[in-house]
């Protein structure tokens, strides 16, 4: 493997420059064609994905192979239109077989997909090997459609590609509302009198056409990824279908540019695999770093939530300690807290530090002490906890022993409005099922007065 | 003549091993996972070869099983963490692995005796020329030729598959037919899932030389589906899957001989034709019993 370099450096840059200067006008056309294909395949793949038929593209692309070979065998020509029509026919037969098998036999849908895919592919390969044994002209290059070869595309190929992809994109834009309705709620579409079947057929036609026209560029074997990966990646970026489809088409176009370029720089290299690899990289980046649903973002959100829960748990513990001392004494050591809430010391210390920074507690010689704002927050949390316990006890008829665990979770996420609603709906909002008083928050400042002067005995009564 | 026998023997072992594993794939509704693994195994083979520079069976099996299990695990994780549909996550993973495999093959064509053709068809017609020799103290000429390498690979894997199925038959049966019962009995279904995936990976890698990466899907899925349509029990399904696969080999080999087409593709096509024939006969039977019921 020593001394092996993929591209000799100088000629690589020369090639790259000449690619982007479009010295060969054909390059520009191939680039345009592949961008259009990337866009239309991603958009139409989006609808297949929403219909939960993500791998339909895989099966249809494989199913196109015998059609290509048959068309060549019958007409002895490489005319793109004839090949296209042949592929379209066999792809459609495959489409109906996938539909027919699970409906009429015991065979399950996923098995039907695998059967169609491999059976048609085998027919295609058998015909290809048969053709290669024949004495016919221009048979070489027929196998380019297996892995795709952008550089081998002719002008007529590109013309056809452009027409078909533009047709697909325009149709999707025109019928966007209808397709969306079918994708999300077919029953509803049927009840409002839509000809669902007709639109389904149109959608199928578009899928088959996009798959078939992309074979030259991407190849039979990997066509699945071009339909599937962009939409899966785009889903992490938005929740709105139109945005998702636009992002998916951008990703498709980007990977088309990258792979077409590579196909020109290294002519022996098939285009399809590079397109898949670049799409997969885009997918992984989206999975990790998408702003709302990316894994990194979700991880940080999760950590923040955990931090919040830990802080609020300490506040509640302090409140309970305070309650036990009947609000006479507002200094607690870490051991006091740990006796109430099982928590490792390191975690406790860091959480206490955070609480101190937020001004919710302050450290004193005897330990920690709730500040006024800390007490307010702690009271509010306790109030929500106990209100919820009451709610579960009264409305959901849970036993007092069962309510604590659930309240422990819900106290962190209840809102003011929900709190007020609970207050209104509960007949007894003075004490929780365990007999503890439910504190009220607007008295918090009074309570604070009571606590700050530890000699004042009125403190406890305020909480009745 | 002797070459034809080796080819036929290899093909029928490949078809039998695939049929046995395929039965469980179909029953567990993992046909697409079989498709995925057979594609990604290419990457395992290429990587194992590039790293170790050896084509010994254990190396190939190791690489393939590792990548096969990785495919299964990654698809599952993507399904759970990325909240993608099951088949979408399978599709994303295997297309990526296969693409990397193809790129590596075309980058290092000179060093691996693999090319794009062989990924697709395998090269069953050439397997008699790649033989194994034993003895001879490292000197190949002195050794004793024991037959094609591909034959022995698939023979060993076939034995492994057969013995695994015989030993674990009852467990596999429970897991395949009553996954929920298996779960409630405390059977570790995750383990049995990955166990099956290991068998699939091993079978595909041993079949790779003979039929290539994609046609193996046909051999995994099609004879087992035909058997699924006719069989009444798991044992019956296994036997009829083997019968279907052997018939396909016989018909396919004749077809390939007559048309001068690729042997592996012809075998897969005949398996498909047998499936269609089975469906046709079942449909006619259904119609007939329907009519009889109407008449009476």
pLDDT digits (tens, 9 = 90+) for A122-146: 999 889 888 888 877 777 677 777 8
Residues 248-267 of B with CB under 8 A from A: 259-262, 264-266
Interacting residues of A145 by C-beta distance below 8 A, sequence separation 6+ = A65, A68, A215, A216, A219, A220
Closest CB from B120, B222, B262 relative to A118: B222
Going from N- to C-terminal start, the domains of chain A cover 9-290, 299-461
Q: Pick from B166, B170, B199, B165: which is nearest to B185 by CA?
A: B170
Contacts (Cβ under 8 Å, ≥6 apart) of A396: none
What is the mean predicted confidence (pLDDT) over A360-369?
78
Q: Which residue has 């999975």 as its token pair?
A: A287
User: Residue B142's pLDDT is what?
Assistant: 56
Residue A353 tokens read as 């530090």
Q: Do the Cβ atoms of B259 and A126 come within 8 Å?
A: yes
Cα separation, B40 vs B204, whole angstroms: 10
Q: Identify the band that residue B91 occupies on the pLDDT scale cut at 50, 70 and 90.
A: very high
Least Cα separation, residue B185 to chain A (angstroms)? 26
pLDDT above 80 for B136: no
DSSP line for A117-132:
HHHHHHHHHHHHHHHH
Domains of chain B: 2-130+148-295 (1.10.3470.10)
Taking the C-alpha atoms of residue A47 and residue A204, their distance in angstroms, rounded to an integer, is: 10
Yes or no, beta carbons of B88 and A123 under 8 Å apart:
no
The CATH code of the domain at A9-290 is 1.10.3470.10
Residue B20 has pLDDT above 90, yes or no: yes
Q: In this predicted model, what pLDDT tens digit does every residue of A277-289 receive, in sequence order?
A: 999 999 999 999 8
Tokens of B46: 């290429």
Which are the contacts of A361, defined by CB distance < 8 A and separation ≥ 6? Answer: A315, A318, A352, A355, A368, A369, A370, A371, A374
Q: What's the confidence (pLDDT) of residue A459?
A: 39
Average pLDDT over residues B58-66: 88
Q: What is the DSSP string of A390-405?
A: HHHHHTS---HHHHHH
The owner of tokens 């490949």 is: B14
CB-CB neighbours of A328 under 10 Å: 14
Q: What is the DSSP annotation of A179-209?
A: HHHHHH-HHHHHHTT--HHHHHHHHHHHHHH
Nearest beta carbon to residue B91 from set A54, A123, A127: A54
Residue of A nearest to B79 (CA): A232
Of B206, B204, B218, give the one whose Cα is nearest residue B151: B206
Pairing of strands A367-370, B131-134: unpaired
Give the ranges where A223-291 is alpha helix by DSSP (H). Answer: 223-234, 241-265, 271-289
- Check: CB of residue A440 under 8 Å from CB of residue A419: no
Is B222 near chain A, with CB under 8 Å? yes
Cβ-defined contact of A228 to B266 (cutoff 8 Å) = no
Interface test with B, best of A90, A125, A284 (most B CBs within 10 A): A125
Nearest-CA residue of chain A relative to B275? Answer: A115
pLDDT of residue B111: 66
By Cβ distance, the residue of A115, A123, A273 closest to B225 is A115
B57 by Cβ neighbours in 10 Å (0-12 / 13-18 / 19+) ranks as middle
Distance CA B248, CA B237 (A): 16
A52 interfacial to chain B (CB closer than 8 Å)? yes
Q: How far apart are CA A5 and CA A11, in angstroms?
A: 12
Q: Is the minimum CB–CB distance between B188 and chain A shorter than 8 Å? A: no
pLDDT band, residue B158 (cuts 50/70/90): very high
Average pLDDT over residues A362-378: 81
What gap in Å lies between CA A266 and CA A277, rounded to an integer? 16
Confidence of residue B234 (pLDDT cuts 50, 70, 90): very high
B115 touches chain A (CB under 8 A): no
Separation between Cα atoms, residue A44 and residue A354, nearest integer Å: 50
The angle formed by the CA atoms of residues A405, A406 and A411, to the nearest 5 degrees, is 105
Task: Provide the pLDDT for residue B230.
Answer: 93
CATH for A299-461 is: 1.10.10.10
Beta bridge partner(s), residue B132: B147
Q: Show contacts of B134-140: CB within 8 Å, 24+ apart.
A: none
Q: Which residues of A213-239 are buried (b: 16+ CB within 10 A; e: fewer)?
A: bbbbbbbbbbbbbbbbbbbbbbbbbbe
- Using a CB–CB cutoff of 8 Å, tell me whether B102 touches chain A: yes
Distance from CA of A263 to the nearest CA of B (A): 12
Radius of gyration from C-alpha coordinates of chain B: 20
- One DSSP character per residue, A281-339 reads HHHHHHHHH-TTT-HHHHHHHHHHHHHHHHHHHHHHHHHHHHHHTTTS---B-HHHHHH
Mutate to test the interface with B, among A100, A120, A126 (most CBs of B within 10 A): A126
Mean pLDDT of B173-180: 86
**Contact status of A114 with chain B (Cβ, < 8 Å):** yes
Q: What is the pLDDT of residues A7-38, one digit of tens each?
A: 555 566 777 777 777 767 777 888 888 899 99
Residue B29 contacts A where some CB pair is shorter than 8 Å: yes
Kindly report the three-state secondary structure assignment for every residue of A328-364. CCCCECHHHHHHHCCCCHHHHHHHHHHHHHCCCEEEE
Same fold, A9-290 and A299-461: no
Using alpha carbons, list the distances in angstroms from residue B208 to A68, A137, B46, B195, B217.
25, 32, 12, 20, 11
The angle at the Cα of A165, spanning A159 to A171, to the nearest 5 degrees, equals 135
Chain B residue at shortest CA distance from A120: B269
Note whether A316 and A381 are within 8 A (CB). yes
pLDDT for the residue numbered A458 = 39
What ipTM does this complex have? 0.90
B136 SS3 class:
coil
Q: Are A272 and A222 in contact (CB under 8 A)?
A: yes
Name the residue among B99, B266, B275 with its Cβ closest to that of A277: B99
* Of B88, B121, B268, Cβ closest to residue A49: B88
């Amino acid at each position: 493997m020593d001394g092996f370099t993929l591209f000799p450096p100088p000629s690589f840059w020369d090639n790259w420059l000449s690619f982007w200067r479009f010295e060969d006008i054909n390059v520009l056309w191939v680039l345009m064609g592949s961008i259009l294909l990337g866009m239309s395949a991603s958009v139409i793949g989006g609808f297949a994905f929403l219909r939960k038929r993500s791998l339909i593209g895989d099966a249809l692309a494989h199913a196109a192979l015998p059609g290509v070979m048959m068309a060549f065998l019958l007409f002895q020509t490489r005319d793109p239109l004839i090949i296209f029509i042949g592929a379209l026919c066999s792809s459609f037969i495959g489409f109906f077989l996938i539909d027919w098998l699970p409906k009429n036999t015991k065979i399950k849908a996923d098995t039907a997909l695998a059967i169609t895919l491999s059976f048609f592919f085998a027919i295609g390969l058998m015909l290809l090997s048969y053709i290669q044994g024949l004495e016919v002209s221009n048979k070489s290059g027929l196998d380019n459609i297996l892995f795709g070869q952008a550089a081998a595309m002719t002008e007529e190929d590109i013309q056809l590609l452009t027409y078909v992809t533009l047709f697909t994109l325009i149709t999707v834009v025109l019928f966007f509302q209808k397709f969306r309705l079918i994708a999300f709620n077919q029953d509803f579409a049927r009840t409002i009198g839509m000809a669902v079947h007709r639109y389904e057929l149109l959608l199928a036609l578009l899928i088959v056409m996009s798959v078939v026209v992309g074979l030259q560029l991407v190849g039979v074997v990997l066509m699945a990824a071009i339909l599937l990966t962009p939409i899966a990646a785009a889903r992490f970026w938005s929740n709105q279908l139109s945005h998702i489809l636009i992002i998916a088409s951008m990703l498709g176009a980007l990977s088309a540019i990258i792979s077409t370029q590579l196909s020109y720089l290294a002519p022996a290299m098939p285009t399809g695999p590079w397109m898949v690899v670049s799409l997969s990289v885009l997918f992984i980046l989206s999975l990790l770093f998408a702003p709302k649903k990316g894994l990194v973002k979700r991880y940080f959100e999760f950590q923040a939530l955990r931090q919040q829960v830990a802080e609020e748990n300490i506040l509640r513990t302090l409140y309970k300690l305070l309650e036990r001392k009947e609000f006479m004494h507002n200094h607690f050591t870490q051991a006091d807290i740990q006796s109430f809430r099982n928590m490792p010391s390191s975690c406790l210390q860091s959480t206490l530090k955070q609480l101190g920074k937020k001004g919710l507690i302050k450290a004193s010689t005897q330990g920690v002490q709730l500040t006024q704002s800390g007490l307010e927050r702690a009271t509010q949390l306790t109030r929500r906890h106990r209100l919820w316990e009451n709610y579960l006890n009264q409305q959901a008829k849970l036993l007092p022993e069962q309510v604590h665990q659930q309240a422990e979770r819900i106290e962190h996420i209840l809102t003011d409005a929900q709190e007020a609603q609970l207050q209104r709906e509960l007949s007894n909002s003075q004490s929780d099922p365990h007999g503890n008083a439910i504190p009220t928050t607007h008295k918090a400042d009074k309570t604070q007065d009571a606590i700050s002067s530890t000699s004042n005995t009125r403190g406890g009564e305020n909480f009745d | 003549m002797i070459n034809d026998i080796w080819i036929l023997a290899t093909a029928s072992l490949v078809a039998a091993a695939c049929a046995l594993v395929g039965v469980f794939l179909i029953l567990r509704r993992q046909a697409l996972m079989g498709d995925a693994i057979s594609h990604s195994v290419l990457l395992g083979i290429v990587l194992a070869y590039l790293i170790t520079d050896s084509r010994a069976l254990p190396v190939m099996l190791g690489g393939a099983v590792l990548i096969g299990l990785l495919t299964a695990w990654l698809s599952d994780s993507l399904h759970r963490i990325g909240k993608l549909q099951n088949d979408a996550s399978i599709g994303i993973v295997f297309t990526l692995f296969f693409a990397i495999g193809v790129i590596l093959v075309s980058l290092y064509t000179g060093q691996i005796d693999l090319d794009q053709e062989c990924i697709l068809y395998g090269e069953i017609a050439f397997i008699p020329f790649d033989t194994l020799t034993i003895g001879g103290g490292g000197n190949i000429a002195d050794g004793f030729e024991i037959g094609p390498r591909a034959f022995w690979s698939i023979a060993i894997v076939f034995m492994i598959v057969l013995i695994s199925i015989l030993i674990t038959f009852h467990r596999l049966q429970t897991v395949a037919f009553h996954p929920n019962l298996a779960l409630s009995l405390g059977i570790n279904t995750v383990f049995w899932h990955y166990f099956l995936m290991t068998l699939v990976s091993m079978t595909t890698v041993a079949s790779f030389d003979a039929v290539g990466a994609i046609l193996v899907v046909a051999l995994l899925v099609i004879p087992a589906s035909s058997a699924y349509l006719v069989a009444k029990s798991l044992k019956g399904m296994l036997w009829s899957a083997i019968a279907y696969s052997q018939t396909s080999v016989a018909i396919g080999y004749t077809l390939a001989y007559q048309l001068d087409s690729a042997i592996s593709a012809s075998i897969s096509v005949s398996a498909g034709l047998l499936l269609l024939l089975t469906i046709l006969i079942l449909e006619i039977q259904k119609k007939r019993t329907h009519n009889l019921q109407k008449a009476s």
